[in-house]
Chains A and B, each alone.
Chain A
């Protein structure tokens, strides 16, 4: 996957960024390119927590040291440079920050964001009558096609990666703090990956236009044929182009194959500049997508994927990514002779078949109407439903961290805790997949940006006991494990 995404500069956007460049804050960040040497390194040490790296390893009572926002070291008895800020994590668990796909744009833009979905709650997907729109918010906005002629690599080198969201990012909004308070540090906004930086607006865009939406639907056979043709033509073009690349070395006059009539979006996918994203649920459609992908040698991303469990092997062979909501329910269709409908085991079966499974909650907005447990803030609960269907806890954690990070092309920066990656951490008072667990601290880019006891939202619920340290004697926090009443029978 491409790491540096080049941006299509529309005239409007060019003006907007020109305006931003004029603003003092950006002058400062531009200047820092030269003055980087003079700025002192900033260190943060998260000390004594059980570090769940997300790679399968757990380091008990270990320390994580971040330098200038990146993970410098994870281990024991680390040397802490002078001026290192310390965060006491004893009795807590340290996880990689969660990555939320298809998140409401309120997170980066505040209350007055247009919002991908602004309704209070969605009725269940079963009820076609009033829920024809369910899942609509999963659709990513189709980006304009990239035109290589418009690239400005010099510009990128100076300014860093930017997206439309840089212009509207609100680093002080309450929804952002709520998301941080529930462990989310990276979000997909439309087709852009945004780091939830609190109180600052630099480096918020992590990747842009990573996915290109395609439609594949059983109800539109000509659309399917059309798409198949487009991919075939793009594949043929690439073969022609590579042959030309070889031959042109000998015959300088040889004409480059024409791109005319080749679908630029399909080309983008085949060249690895973008991932092909489909929204499909029926087993027939999923099978069709899997075969299209295998024929044309790309890895599809499939949102919904409700009947994935029926064709999991095929999807696995196609190297598919699935974005699922494990608690989704849909009835079997009694008129079909094949299996149909949802299964709680969907996520587990897909994972077992080698499909990369990412989990999105039933409601990707933040529910301020009071129905908690199914909205964005409770992402781990949704992953819990994947475990209910037989997925391992480890895979469930991956489904809300590293897998979505891969989908967004930012797995080299977030999704697991590894040296060199961004220091985006969540400190919890228990298993992050347990329903009772609260996030106690959140760290983004090596800065502590959330402390449960310092914010209005959850401070009053099971207030964190002070960790008393007295001459080496430790009193760790109250363990929040499930308390089972003893049998009163005896």
Chain B
């Protein structure tokens, strides 16, 4: 325990201080403009070309300044050009289900699972963040540049998640948005199978919490809609319910630990249809892909993983009946075949680590997910960005967005593809030529 704590502190102080007391490098804020020439640029843009072959990405002040063919790029004297040969460029990846940006249940400290009540919408994961901890740095090295750090699923509402960048060691630099989400957990983990409450009360209580929270938000909306001179006293600020104002306005989403057909149906009908909130599915496995069509219709994104297949025989995990007696079923493929166009991936790190995020995409494709329009790459980048409402900043290589860029030797879903470099906002957070092994070889 102590050693772990110590190693966390050490890594926070010793590792990853790019740009500290040195001239900003090319592409960084205040640095010169840099153009990256690459064989293939996976822009993952929602509009415009998905892929640019033999193109160029220009980075200025930590933002993407140009994506396209070099012939369309206005000349500049001050620009530095880096030719990356046959390498590919792609946006940094986004994992919307992690518990690794600070101390958590998994490191022996339970900062993330304060299951005080069945629903705890006032608790904040942001207070547990350890910027630049080793897990975050390793995630950055693996190309996962943005994560949603969320409370655990010990209760129905563990609290508020926070959207963070990996790879930096100052909180001001890593925060993308706080609150990042309301973490809702339905069925499964919060259930107490032999004692305490189960699904019927949990659903009642969750619904009750939403009602109370939204009533609180309504009061504030009514107050703010009054002309200023006619306003009465402001409603009492209650930190327990403040989040619901952001939920009601659509600024923040509900990220839902939900899986099993029946439970995901509850997510869709309760959170989306009944309360009209912006919600996305996290996990979404164990037969729930059958709801792909309805989820698509309701605009609910499916961020699936780390269970990425339904197996023929679930053994003691047979929560949902013998749903897939006939064979292995790829979860992502299931959603896709049911008509869902917004399938993304998550790891639930440290259940599996962010270094294995790409394996989620690989397994999706292996088990039947159609990748002809690079949906597996979209699922690692722009789909989670849109789900979390941060597509104006990250998730694709488009002008004005953060220069979170992975330089990789091939298709990102292939475990064999080697990451050469990872940039976050133009700053190099991983360089394979400076890995300990590479340095040792020199």
Please measure, in the bound complex, the distance between the C-alpha atom of A336 and the C-alpha atom of B326, giving whole angstroms. 53
- The verdict on A126 contacting B350 (CB below 8 Å), with A369-B307, A384-B414, A488-B50 known, is yes
Given contacts A334-B14, A373-B359, A127 and B107 within 8 Å (CB-CB) = yes
Question: In the complex, what's the smallest C-beta–C-beta distance from A377 to chain B, in angstroms?
Answer: 9
Q: Quick one: which of B68, B107, B355, B366 has the most chain A CB within 10 A?
A: B366
- Segment from A10-18, A76-84, A431-439 that makes contact with B: A431-439
Interface flags for A127-151 (1: CB within 8 Å of B; 0: not) read 1111000000000000000000000
Dominant SS among interface residues on chain A: loop
Stretch with Cβ within 8 A of A (4 or more), from B180-188, B206-214, B309-317: B309-317
Report the minimal beta-carbon distance from A225 to chain B, rounded to whole angstroms.
Answer: 26
0/1 per residue, A309-328, Cβ < 8 Å to B? 11000000000000000010
Q: How far is the CB of A481 from chain B (nearest CB, A)?
A: 11
Q: A56 in the interface, Cβ–Cβ < 8 Å? A: no
Contact B351 A121 (CB under 8 A): yes
Looking at B28-36, B274-282, B291-299, B369-377, the stretch in contact with chain A turns out to be B369-377
**Given A345-B437, A368-B313, A457 and B49 touching (CB < 8 A)?**
no
Question: Could you tell me how many residues of chain A have their Cβ less than 8 Å away from some Cβ of chain B?
Answer: 65
Q: Say yes or no: is A462 at the interface (Cβ < 8 Å to chain B).
A: yes
Q: How far is the CA of A333 from the CA of B15 in the complex (A)?
A: 12
Known: A388-B418, A485-B372. A371 touches B440 (CB 8 A): no
Q: Is the CB of A124 within 8 A of B352?
A: yes
Does chain A have a CB within 8 A of B11? Answer: yes
* A327 and B355 contact, CB distance less than 8 A: yes
User: Are the CB atoms of A374 and B371 closer together than 8 Å?
Assistant: no
For B14, list chain A residues within 8 Å (CB): 334
CB pair A390 B350 closer than 8 Å: no
Shortest CB-to-CB span from A176 to chain B, Å, is: 14
Say yes or no: is B171 at the interface (Cβ < 8 Å to chain A).
Answer: no
Indicate if the CB atoms of A370 and B307 lie closer than 8 Å: yes
Pick from B326, B350, B418: contact of A123, CB below 8 A: B350
Given contacts A124-B350, A373-B360, contact A329 B138 (CB under 8 A): yes
Interface residue B106 (Cβ < 8 Å from any Cβ of A): yes
Distance in angstroms between the alpha carbons of A390 and B356 in the assembled complex: 17
Q: Is the CB of A373 within 8 A of B363?
A: yes
Q: Assess whether B52 is in contact with A489, with CB atoms less than 8 Å apart.
A: yes
Q: Is A58 an interface residue (CB 8 A)?
A: no
Contacts of B53 in A (CB 8 A): 487
Pair A372/B314 contact, Cβ less than 8 Å: no
Q: Which residues of A contact B351 (CB under 8 A)?
A: 121, 123, 371
Within 420-441 of A, Cβ neighbours of B (below 8 Å) are at 433-438
What bracket does the count of chain B residues touching chain A fall in? 35 or more
Complex CA gap A242/B331 in Å reads 64
Output the least CB separation between B333 and chain A (Å): 8
B117 within 8 A of A: no
Q: Within residues 475 to 490 of chain A, which ones have a CB less than 8 A from any CB in chain B? A: 482-489
Q: Is the CB of B285 within 8 A of A370?
A: yes
A370–B311 touching, CB < 8 Å:
yes
Minimal beta-carbon separation of A478 from chain B (angstroms): 12
Question: When the two chains form their complex, are residues A370 and B372 in contact, meaning their CB atoms are under 8 A apart?
Answer: no
Residues in chain B near residue A310, CB distance under 8 A: 440
For A438, the closest partner residue in chain B by CB is B366
A120 within 8 A of B: yes
Residues on A with beta carbons closer than 8 Å to the beta carbon of B40? 484
Q: Mark B409-436, 1 if CB is under 8 A from A, else 0.
A: 0010111111000000000000000011
- The yes or no answer to A266 lying at the interface (CB within 8 A) is no
Contact A329 to B317, CB < 8 A, known contacts A373-B308, A385-B415, A488-B50 = no
Query: With A334-B7, A489-B49 as given contacts, are A126 and B1 in contact (CB-CB < 8 Å)?
Result: no
- Is B115 in the interface zone, CB < 8 Å from A? no
Query: Are the CB atoms of A128 and B4 closer together than 8 Å?
Result: yes
- Is the C-beta of A157 less than 8 angstroms from some C-beta in chain B? no
Does B327 have its Cβ within 8 Å of any Cβ on chain A? yes
Q: Which residue of A lies closest to B309 (CB)?
A: A372
Tell me, in angstroms, the Cα distance from A305 to B205 when the chains sit together.
Answer: 50
Determine if A410 is an interface residue (Cβ-Cβ < 8 Å).
no
Interface flag for B161 (CB, 8 Å):
no
Residue of A nearest to B368 (CB): A461
- Decide if A349 is an interface residue (CB 8 Å cutoff): yes
Bits for B319-332, please: 1 = Cβ < 8 Å to A, else 0. 00000011111110
How many Å lie between the Cα of A334 and that of B8 in the bound state?
10
The interface centre, meaning the residue of A174, A345, A459 with most chain B CB atoms within 10 A of its CB, is A345
Q: A108: shortest Cβ distance to chain B, in Å?
A: 18
Say yes or no: A488 contacts B418, CB within 8 Å: no
B367 within 8 A of A: yes
The residue in chain A whose Cβ has the minimal distance to the Cβ of B348 is A371
What is the bound-complex CA distance between A389 and B432, given in angstroms? 10
Q: Shortest Cβ distance from B145 into chain A, in angstroms?
A: 18
Chain B neighbourhood of A129, CB < 8 A: 1, 4, 106-108
Query: A381 near B: Cβ within 8 Å?
Result: yes
- The answer on a CB contact under 8 Å between A374 and B352 is yes
Question: Are B350 and A343 closer than 8 Å at their CB atoms?
Answer: no
Supposing A343-B437, A370-B309 touch, asked if A460 and B327 sit within 8 A by C-beta, the answer is yes
* Minimum distance in angstroms from B68 CB to a CB of chain A: 8
Contact present for B330 and A461 (CB under 8 Å): yes
Contacting pair A371 B352 (CB below 8 A): yes
Q: Is the CB of B108 within 8 A of A435?
A: no
CA separation between A239 and B359, bound complex, in Å?
Answer: 53
User: What residues of A have a CB within 8 angstroms of the CB of B374 in the complex?
Assistant: 484-485
| Whole-angstrom CA separation of A174 from B312 in the bound complex | 10
Please tell me if A245 contacts chain B, counting CB pairs below 8 Å: no
5 example contacts (A-B, Cβ-Cβ < 8 A) are as follows: A334-B7, A369-B317, A435-B362, A457-B328, A488-B51
* Nearest 5 CB-CB pairings of A with B: A370-B307, A384-B415, A435-B362, A489-B49, A387-B416
